[in-house]
């Protein structure tokens, strides 16, 4: 078992901030990944926060744009 914190744990740790950085380096650029990230964003926004993607591939960024989700899944570029 890994000791890495879960995303909800990370969100709680960042409650004094408005954004939760999520490193997506190495995530496969496919529809399932974008769907999962969008669902995480919904869950985090319910806590009044926002996920901000970091270190994503060009392909993942293009797929997010193609799906019209750039506003839903903002990224540091």
Q: What is the distance, to the nearest Å, from the Cα of residue 8 to the centroid of all Cα atoms in its chain?
A: 12
Predicted pLDDT at 8 = 64
Predicted pLDDT at 77 = 66
For the chain, give every domain's residue range: 7-66
Q: Which residues of the chain are under the pLDDT cut of 70?
A: 1-5, 7-16, 77
What residues contact residue 77 under an 8 Å CB cut-off, 6+ apart?
A: 61
Predicted pLDDT at 18 = 86
What is the pTM for the complete model shown?
0.75
Distance CA(77)–CA(52), nearest Å, equals: 10
């Amino acid at each position: 078992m890994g000791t890495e914190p879960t995303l909800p744990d990370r969100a709680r740790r960042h409650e004094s901030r408005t954004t939760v950085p999520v490193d997506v380096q190495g995530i496969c650029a496919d529809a399932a990944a974008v769907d999962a990230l969008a669902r995480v964003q919904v869950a985090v926004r319910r806590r009044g926060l926002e996920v901000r993607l970091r270190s994503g591939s060009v392909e993942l960024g293009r797929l997010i744009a193609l799906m019209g989700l750039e506003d839903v899944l903002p990224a540091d570029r």
